[in-house]
Amino acid sequence: MKTQTRAVVIGGGIAGCSTLYHLTQEGWTDVVLVERNELTSGTTWHSAAQVTNFGGTQTMVGLKSHSIKLYKELADDPDYPINYHHADGGIRLTNDPKQMEGYRHFASVAKGMGADFEIIDAEECARRHPLVSTQNLLGGLWDPLDGDIDPAQLCQALARRARKAGAEVYRHTPVTGLTQHKDDSWTVHTDKGDIDCEVVINACGYRVNEVGAMMGVEHPVASMEHQYFLTDDIKDIAEADHRMPLLRCPISDYYCRQEKNGLLVGFYEQDCKTWGMDGIDPDFVNALCPDDLDRVMDVLAGAFERMPALEEAGIRSIVNGPITYTIDGAPLVGPIPGKRNAFCIIGLRAGLGEGGGHGWLLAQQIVHGEAQYDTWVIDPRRFTGHATVELTALKSIEDYQNEFRFHFPHEHRPAGRNAKTTPITPVLAAEGAEFGVVNGWERIAYVKPSSDFTETHSFQFNETFDVVTKEIEAVQASVGMTELNGFNRFEITGTGARDWLDTIMCSRVPRKIGKVGLTYFLNHKGDVKGEATLANLSEDRIWYGSAAASEYHDMDWLTAHLPEDGSVKIKSLTNEWSILVIAGPKSREVLSAVSRGDWSKAAFPWLSVREAYIGIAPAVVMSVSFSGELAYEIHVPSHQLYAAYLALKEAGAAHDMKLFGSHAVESMRLEKGYRHWKADLITEFNPFESVLDRFIKMDKPDFIGKTALEAQIKRGPRRKFVTLVLDCTHAPAHGGDSILAPDGRCIGTITSGEWGHRTGQNIAMGFVDPDFDTIGQALSVEVIGAPVGAQVVTPDLYDPNYEKIRA
Amino acid sequence: MKALVPVKRVIDYNVKVRVKANGSGVDLTNTKMSMNPFDEIAVEEAMRLKEAGFVSEVVVVTIGVAKSEEVLRSGLAMGADRAILIETTDDVNIDIEPLAVAKLLAKVVAQEGSGLVLAGKQAIDNDINATGQMLAELLGWGQATSASEVVITNEAARVTREVDGGLQVVNVTLPAIVTCDLRLNEPRYASLPNIMKAKKKPLERKTPADFGVDTAPRLKILNTQEPATRAAGQILGSVAELAAKLKEVGAV
């Protein structure tokens, strides 16, 4: 056994085998996999092993396309062929027109990644799957490449290729401990000896937190028991001249696929059960849980109705085993928060289908620092302090119960709510606030016009449209208030702080005390990594503000580049402070009424910062605006937030100040061309492609990514960021929708879309082929799958001369 | 004629058996359990005899922990008419020994007036292969063990047995005990509606005390251990190497 290697992958299921193989493909061949038992002896062993191309985001579709391509190549290898039913096709059924709209949207998302889905009606579903009844069926989404694969053969094939490339696999080698050294390298202790390495990777499936504990980490992963059964031969299948396509049915929460001449049928029952929360038997290897058909009775009736043949079929065997889940249904693939040189590929609930792609993107991150797609949707750092296993268990149960029911736009489900709140969350609730969840934070979405107001979640505009119109009217006419809680906030201190930030940011870092600046930073490839508002509180004290979900991500990046002499220090104040925003032409009057000092335009112009009191509460006030109106961000420590809120509310009464929420903010920021991190700002594009030109200072001596960016400029843009106005009123564009050239070719992707209530326009943002970014260019956008006319416009649709913000 | 089929809840044949670290037995916590496969064959044979009109009613019976109800429900799902659960213990680790089982079954046969007992030839957990024989002795009935074919004629059963080197055909006068071997039939898989119907079929609960039988174990388990693990193999490059290797280890 090696005692020294570059990377040690812990775990020999699909996640570990795929990671090991892809590390060798990305250039690291001196790598090792250790497995406590045999390869494929955990969840991978009892997986139903479906390989779909369907995904909710382009990254998910792209990584699944990689799985499919790779598995096909492995299956076709004459030296070690594996059983892969490639391209049997699959149907996601529905009886709900709103879900059908979702399928149309997801088909458009997939189109941008070269995956060709089809929307089919009920009769066509039954034609393609002769066992399906069209009763209570509207139709479905057809995925032509859907299929299934033999899990053990797949893992062996990946391990075999990895070994051929130089990797080593040690079976029956349990890890007993992990030690990290001062230089951030690791020693992996096993019962067969120690292995020193640069990087460790946790790929431990349901044992994720046994290895997590060895490095002092609690991963937000929980396991759910999941049952499927195999039927005896079914005559219609045995006699059919084609294999049956896969089915996934949100009407009655089951899936099925052909297995031999019968079916494999799995259930997502409401009466579901977590597994292993209080520890897992060390001998639970190639093992199953006792089956419990009583739990799935609620689903069976619907399954029989959809597929009468199931009623007659004998049940050959029942399989009940644990599958890992996370808070949002997507796995955790990437750097382990708070650790250096430690990565994970965990929480894969559809590991066989996705594993090929996840291992690929993880290996790219390990070897190159960044994957070829923006991997935020699977980044372990997307959850911060609230992500405990208890919250994960609640969300896992909810996710399991809704397995095939995707989230609609703005839909936030009830489990595990109030994970992060501020003292005024209940106060806003009493005012009628409806909340959305941003990285666990309950953030006001809008104020319900009446206590019995309910919203129909949809890809179209819904009942909230008029509510948001009114909130924005109040802001525009006078003044509105909202809480921007969870906004990420670091305090950066030290005499060298500003000079150091200058090496991180590709933008100009504000020099003057009392000034605020918007800055961007790049990765080493020259692509956009993040966005931060820097506020100079004093000579050696800077506040760094960024998106609510970015806390761990940004902290990870900044601390990795801190000067070694300790001259710069960073502290997170994210949880200790919150922000009250007042916006609108009367906001200065409200502020002046509650805070002593001169708040005039001359004394406190746009992009200023000052420490002050709001009533009796100490605060940091910034004259910045995400709405395009005159506005102030008032940062207040949590324990005095309520006092500040009351003072502002009282002062606002004179101006009929109303609350507004994040939906109104979303509309207003699109009218101003302001971007959202990880929607419009993604690490797949450089800042010039992202049209952030005015924020990029190429004349600075150096900053991270500058050399790579210079090379990128020479090569020319891959895509260009554009603002579009759509010619429709029924629905906004949604992130992932395809943008089409006049000849119908897919030439881009939407990143954001919302109605502009002040401009009366349906606004969208996105990236397009550079040939199509001219102002006035006519394009079309697939809105809910149907092309709608669109035009490229100048980004500042509202107040282009900044007269309101600077008023 | 009523048929009685004794069934046993055993560790599922697909599951890797784990021996407890202290050697006191097999670890059964959170492990998949199923009906003993030979007992499934017995239930199937009983169902076929019922479908052929030789048997009027099929009763399944089990002796064990409360959870053994699951295997009775499996039997009912295959088509058995009624079930009897004799709950002997709360401890899954106590294996009720063949003599106690046979004594209880003898009482059940008397209570039920069974004319034929179809049993598995042995349980795959302890492989003792004794219950059927003991029951025959206690009842004073004829027995035909390890059946691979059963033909019922008027007052007798003609049973083919697979024995070393051939087949043996025996005639047993009814009532009789027949224990079933692997090749007797291929048990049917229950359909989901039948699995659901099985939940509503009659199940009578009893205890050993109801029959006046003592089920205390007479055997003491001294130690349980896993078979020796197989040593790693070796891949050889040529026939010559193989021949040399075989000589070296004294195999040729």
pLDDT in tens, A222-273: 999 999 999 999 999 999 999 999 999 999 999 999 999 999 999 999 999 9
The beta-carbon neighbor of A314 closest among B15, B29, B191 is B191
The predicted structure's pLDDT at residue A756 = 98
B17 lies within 8 A of chain A by CB: no
DSSP alpha helices (H): ranges in A656-759? 662-672, 706-715
Q: Which of A591, A573, A571, A587 has its CA nearest to residue A638?
A: A573
The predicted structure's pLDDT at residue A624 = 97
Nearest C-alpha in B relative to A275: B30
Q: Do A289 and B30 touch (CB under 8 A)?
A: yes
Q: Do A290 and B31 touch (CB under 8 A)?
A: yes
User: Å from A773 to nearest chain B CA?
Assistant: 59
Q: Are A246 and A90 in contact (CB under 8 A)?
A: yes
Q: Which parts of chain B sit beneath pLDDT 50?
A: none
B183 lies within 8 A of chain A by CB: no
Q: Which of B26, B22, B1, B20 has its CA nearest to residue B112?
A: B1
Residue A290 has pLDDT above 90, yes or no: no
B26 lies within 8 A of chain A by CB: no
Tally C-beta pairs within 8 A across A and B. 57
The predicted structure's pLDDT at residue B29 = 79
Nearest C-alpha in A relative to B187: A316
For chain B, what's the residue count? 252
Which chain B residues are closer than 8 Å to A290 by Cβ? 30-33
What sign does the CA torsion over A332, A335, A339, A341 have? positive
Q: Are A798 and A671 in contact (CB under 8 A)?
A: yes
B12 lies within 8 A of chain A by CB: yes
Q: What is the DSSP string of A512-580?
A: STTBEEEEEEE-TTS-EEEEEEEEEEETTEEEEEE-TT-HHHHHHHHHHTS-TTS--EEEE-TTTEEEE
The predicted structure's pLDDT at residue A53 = 97
Q: Which amino acid is at A679?
A: A
Q: Do B192 and A310 touch (CB under 8 A)?
A: yes
* Average pLDDT score over residue span A90-115: 98
The beta-carbon neighbor of B195 closest among A284, A288, A315 is A315
Which chain A residues are closer than 8 Å to B192 by Cβ? 300, 304, 310-311, 313, 315
A280 lies within 8 A of chain B by CB: no
B188 lies within 8 A of chain A by CB: yes
B193 lies within 8 A of chain A by CB: yes
User: Å from B223 to nearest chain A CA?
Assistant: 19
Which chain A residues are closer than 8 Å to B187 by Cβ? none
A231 lies within 8 A of chain B by CB: yes
Does ipTM top 0.85?
no
List, for residues A487-538, the tens digit of each pLDDT value.
Answer: 999 999 999 999 999 999 999 999 999 999 999 999 999 999 999 999 999 9
The predicted structure's pLDDT at residue A67 = 98
Measured CA to CA, the distance from residue A685 to residue B224 in angstroms comes to 63
Nearest C-alpha in A relative to B26: A283
Nearest C-alpha in A relative to B11: A290
The predicted structure's pLDDT at residue A729 = 98
Residue of A46, A273, A283 for testing the chain B interface, max B β-carbons within 10 Å:
A283
A173 lies within 8 A of chain B by CB: no
Residue of A171, A267, A275, A317 for testing the chain B interface, max B β-carbons within 10 Å:
A317
Residue of A315, A319, A320 for testing the chain B interface, max B β-carbons within 10 Å:
A315
The beta-carbon neighbor of B189 closest among A290, A291, A316 is A316
State the Rg of chain A over Cα: 27
Task: Quote the tokens at residue A305.
Answer: 């109705």
Task: Quote the tokens at residue B109.
Answer: 């046969």
The beta-carbon neighbor of A288 closest among B15, B189, B192 is B15
Nearest C-alpha in B relative to A297: B196
Which chain B residues are closer than 8 Å to A283 by Cβ? 18, 27
Q: Do B188 and A304 touch (CB under 8 A)?
A: no
User: Å from B9 to nearest chain A CA?
Assistant: 12
* Average pLDDT score over residue span A119-132: 97
B66 lies within 8 A of chain A by CB: no
Residue A669 has pLDDT above 90, yes or no: yes
The beta-carbon neighbor of A315 closest among B16, B31, B191 is B191
User: Å from A190 to nearest chain B CA?
Assistant: 20
Which chain A residues are closer than 8 Å to B16 by Cβ? 285-287
Q: Do B192 and A283 touch (CB under 8 A)?
A: no
User: Å from B102 to nearest chain A CA?
Assistant: 28
Q: What is the DSSP string of A232-281?
A: ---HHHHH-SSPPPEEEETTTTEEEEEETTEEEEEE--SS--EE-TT---
Q: Do A290 and B32 touch (CB under 8 A)?
A: yes
List, for residues A38-61, the tens digit of each pLDDT value.
Answer: 999 999 999 999 999 999 999 999
What sign does the CA torsion over A39, A42, A46, A51 have? negative
Task: Quote the tokens at residue B212.
Answer: 């006046």
Q: Do A285 and B196 touch (CB under 8 A)?
A: no
List, for residues A464-484, the tens digit of each pLDDT value.
Answer: 999 999 999 999 999 999 999
Residues 6+ apart with CB under 8 A from A650: A594
Which chain A residues are closer than 8 Å to B191 by Cβ? 311-315
Which chain B residues are closer than 8 Å to A317 by Cβ? 14
List, for residues A704-724, the tens digit of each pLDDT value.
Answer: 999 999 999 999 999 999 999
Q: Do B192 and A284 touch (CB under 8 A)?
A: no
The predicted structure's pLDDT at residue B231 = 84
For chain A, what's the residue count? 807
Which chain B residues are closer than 8 Å to A285 by Cβ? 16, 18
Residue of B27, B32, B226 for testing the chain A interface, max A β-carbons within 10 Å:
B32
A233 lies within 8 A of chain B by CB: no
Distances (CA, A) of A287 to A45, A319, A390: 9, 10, 25
The beta-carbon neighbor of B15 closest among A231, A287, A300 is A287
Residues 6+ apart with CB under 8 A from A571: A490, A491, A493
Measured CA to CA, the distance from residue A339 to residue A343 in angstroms comes to 8
Nearest C-alpha in B relative to A265: B192
Which chain B residues are closer than 8 Å to A312 by Cβ? 191
List, for residues B181-215, the tens digit of each pLDDT value.
Answer: 999 999 999 998 898 899 999 999 999 999 999 99
Q: Which amino acid is at B230?
A: R
Q: Which of A387, A472, A397, A413 has its CA nearest to residue A659?
A: A472
Residue of A259, A288, A311 for testing the chain B interface, max B β-carbons within 10 Å:
A288
